[in-house]
């Protein structure tokens, strides 16, 4: 069952990340979005299709709206797209005008986590219950996913062949801080790449979308997966480092969603902190009842 669920989650990530379609490569999306500044509801231009793909990628638009058969509709900045844009702006602490202003375009251009902001109709970000129309959610809202009480002493490993210099920062900067944040209710043990298949949390590098956009993603409980884009730079001293990015993804592995708080490590892109924030600890305790 766990293997089946893992396969389903990976398939969902592949579906949502345009990296797996050469015509919708996120770098191409960014290039198109860069030139959409100033557009608003009622406008029609070919580039709006890239905006819709971006908003769909992160959970703001449903497949049914994205895949309309009418070509002219794909290029139309309609009311549904405006709603999605307003929700995105709310989630990222921007003025919710629905207009693609400089601040909105700049935020969309930043490297970020590949996990959608809205999953199964649910979000803990600012847009919850405001402009977002649940009819355009991916699915019906589900209960939060958590690790059961019997699985709080978790093992982890990197995929065989992974470069050795990432293991120490992953352990010290990405994983162990969550044990501290949980009041040691969670513990984590590295068991070596030779035990990768038997580990609770499997960490790997894979091709996602090329350098500079989606940095990594983490699967919710109890899938136990974290993947970094092998085309991004993970050398020591590079910003953002693998420690910070891994710290964010480990939050997803424990069940935390994205946050609108820029001082939360669960902010979707490079926020204002490299550490677990107070709101993250609060959310973790609320999720598990610590």
Rounded alpha-carbon distances, angstroms, from residue 139 to 32, 61, 236? 28, 11, 40
Provide Rg for the chain, Cα atoms: 19
- Give me the residues paired with residue 166 across strands: none
Dist CA 200 CA 219 (whole Å): 12
The DSSP code for 145 is P
Specify binding-site residues for Ca(2+).
209-210, 229
Active site residues: 249
Specify binding-site residues for Zn(2+).
113, 248, 252, 258, 266
- The beta-strand segments (E) located in 81-213 are 112-113, 153-158, 187-190, 201-206
219: left (phi over 0), alpha (psi -120 to 50) or beta: beta
42: left (phi over 0), alpha (psi -120 to 50) or beta: left
């Amino acid at each position: 069952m766990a293997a089946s669920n893992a396969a389903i989650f990976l398939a969902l990530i592949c579906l949502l990340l345009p990296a797996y379609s050469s015509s919708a490569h996120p770098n191409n999306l960014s290039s198109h979005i860069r030139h959409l500044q100033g557009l608003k509801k009622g406008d029609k231009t070919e580039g709006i299709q890239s905006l819709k793909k971006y908003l769909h990628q992160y959970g703001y638009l449903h497949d049914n709206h994205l895949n309309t058969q009418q070509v002219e509709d794909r290029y139309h900045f309609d009311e549904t797209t405006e709603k999605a844009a307003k929700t995105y702006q709310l989630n990222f602490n921007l003025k919710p005008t629905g207009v693609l202003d400089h601040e909105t375009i700049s935020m969309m251009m930043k490297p970020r986590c590949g996990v959608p902001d809205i999953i199964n109709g649910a979000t803990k970000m600012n847009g919850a219950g405001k402009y977002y129309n649940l009819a355009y959610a991916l699915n019906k809202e589900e209960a939060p996913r958590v690790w059961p009480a019997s699985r709080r002493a978790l093992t982890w490993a990197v995929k065989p062949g992974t470069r050795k210099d990432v293991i120490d920062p992953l352990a010290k900067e990405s994983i162990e801080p969550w044990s501290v944040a949980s009041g040691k209710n969670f513990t984590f043990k590295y068991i070596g790449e030779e035990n990768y298949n038997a580990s609770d949390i499997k960490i790997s590098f894979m091709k996602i979308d090329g350098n500079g956009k989606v940095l990594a993603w983490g699967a919710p409980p109890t899938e136990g997966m974290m993947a970094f884009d092998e085309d991004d730079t993970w050398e020591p001293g590079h910003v953002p480092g693998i420690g910070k990015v891994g710290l964010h993804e480990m939050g997803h592995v424990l069940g935390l969603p994205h946050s609108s708080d820029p001082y939360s490590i669960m902010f979707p892109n490079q926020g204002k902190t490299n550490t677990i924030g107070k709101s993250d600890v609060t959310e973790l305790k609320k999720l598990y009842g610590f």
